A = this chain, B = another copy of it.
Amino acid sequence: MKCAILSIGTELLMGQILNTNSKYLSEELNNLGIGVYYHHTVGDNPKRLEALIKETFKNVDMIITTGGLGPTQDDLTKDIISKIFNREMIKDEYSYERIKGYFKRRKKAMSPNNIRQAYMPKDSIILENNYGTAPGFILEEKEKIIICLPGPPREMKNMFNDQVIKYIMDKEKNYIHSKTIRLFGIGESSLEENIMDLIRKQKNPTIATYAKEGEVSIRITSSSKDEEEAKYLVDNMIKNIYEKVGKYIYSTDNEELIDVVVKKLKEKSLTLSLAESCTGGMIGSKFTDIPGVSNYFDRSLVTYSNRAKEEELGVKKHILKEFGAVSRQTAESMVIGLKRKTKSDICLSVTGIAGPDGGTDEKPVGLVYISLLYGKIMVTRRFYFTGDRNKIRIYTMLSGLNMIKEVL
């Protein structure tokens, strides 16, 4: 099935908001085995919208629209589509009650515009909106399908995941199964080299690799008439990938590195403290992103200046002078001081040169030392990261998390 995604909204054409819906839907549709051939965006303009839908249907079987369903947009999308498909608008009692309930719960008045949101093209499949007022809908006619979703990403995503995927799978008479493996410590191109034979042979399941700031992931998607077979195909492929790059895999459930680390801290009831220099609090901030982490995360001492390293962590002046703030000796001295102070089960220190200035031939920008202390284990690693200041800091953070993960 050939598909196009049509985003409706003048604010997109003004550049006021980023179109994340098209990316999201494209990724999901590709995983369902639906080819996306076009993204189009048009403003809240009836004539141009009508012309674009008609033109687009010349090239594809299915259009998914987002936006133009809100109460202030005069139900633009619904009106135009009911016109194109020649359907009258009928009040949908179920949607009407839902919208009424939505306003009642929020103790707000319902405007005539909101009532209009309950009118839907005749014989459409109505999609409930569990996160807002505008219902979506699906219309089918003469081998053509149009699926209309609201614009706000949260409403759109939930409607798509909960209702549209099922519709498409039924339509295609196919069960789709998808899993995402996450890896750290291997680049995308070297990952692809390692699993090249699997990628070459791929057909069902399909394999797609993605890279994002130091982490790479592999999405494996199978399709089958039979649910069990779809799952088996994916699991079997994961086994094959494990054989090749297993040591880099930290999750087969699309978890982030931080989630895996915190899960392990919880499982083992361990406490953690940090001493951060070049990351400046970024690692602590990452841990405290996670609700309820306070039982495991004790503190982070962001010792940016040398004086702070001396005072907070007891790093000796002569060490800073002789070896420098960015050195194995300082990193180890930091982590020992941190342990002495906090008694946390796991202590981690980082010190490095994030740039763009401050690098020398001997100690270039991107040089980072990370030390970890856990029981009797003390590990110190030296890294040379490339990229801008932000990238070096993020790589440092991820490498620190990875070192914690490795000892747990």
Name A residues whose Cβ lies closer than 8 Å to a Cβ of B. 7, 12-20, 22-30, 36-43, 48, 52, 55, 59, 208, 210, 274, 276, 278-285, 287-289, 291-294, 297-305, 307-308, 311-312, 341-342, 354-357, 389-390, 393
Contact A27 B23 (CB under 8 A): no
Cβ–Cβ < 8 Å partners of A297 in chain B: 280, 304-305
Q: Which residues of B contact A15 (CB under 8 A)?
A: 22-30, 36
Q: Is the CB of B283 within 8 A of A288?
A: no
Q: Which residues of B contact A40 (CB under 8 A)?
A: 38-41
The chain B residue with its CB closest to the CB of A211 is B16
In the complex, what residue of chain B is closest to A278 when comparing beta carbons?
Answer: B288
Q: Is the CB of B299 within 8 A of A304?
A: yes
| 14 A–B pairs (Cβ distance < 8 Å), ordered by A | A13-B37, A15-B23, A15-B36, A19-B39, A48-B59, A280-B300, A281-B285, A281-B288, A288-B354, A288-B393, A289-B393, A300-B300, A302-B302, A308-B342
Query: How many angstroms between the C-alpha atoms of A23 and B9 in the bound complex?
Result: 13
Given A284-B281, A298-B304, are A13 and B42 also a contact pair (CB < 8 Å)? no
Residues of B contacting A41 with CB < 8 Å? 22, 38-40
Contact check, B279 vs A288: say whether CB atoms are below 8 A apart: yes
Whether A281 touches B283, Cβ cut-off 8 Å, given contacts A17-B23, A27-B16, A39-B41, is: yes
Stoichiometry, as copies per complex, reads 2
Task: Name A's interface SS.
Answer: mixed
**Contact partners of A294 in chain B: CB under 8 A:** 304-305
A283 contacts which chain B residues (CB < 8 A)?
281
Q: Which 5 A-B pairs have the closest CB atoms?
A: A280-B288, A281-B281, A15-B27, A281-B284, A15-B26
For A301, the chain B residues whose CB sits under 8 A away are 299, 301-302, 312
In the complex the two chains form, what is the Cα distance from A12 to B287 in whole Å?
A: 32
What 8 new A-B contacts, CB under 8 Å, besides A13-B36, A299-B312, A311-B342?
Answer: A12-B23, A14-B26, A15-B28, A19-B39, A284-B302, A284-B304, A298-B304, A298-B305
A279 neighbours in B (Cβ, 8 Å): 285, 288
- CB of B30 within 8 A of CB of A14, answer yes
A210 touches which one: B16, B25, B303 (CB < 8 A)?
B16
A12: nearest chain-B partner, CB-CB: B39
**What is the bound-complex CA distance between A355 and B291, given in angstroms?**
7
Q: Which of A7, A28, A288 has the most CB of B within 10 A?
A: A288
For residue A178, give the distance in angstroms from its CB to the closest CB of chain B. Answer: 13
Contact between chains at A280 and B284 (CB < 8 Å): yes
| B-chain residues with CB within 8 Å of residue A393 when the two chains form the complex | 288-289
**Cβ A289 vs Cβ B389 within 8 A:** yes
A282 to B284, CA, bound (A): 8
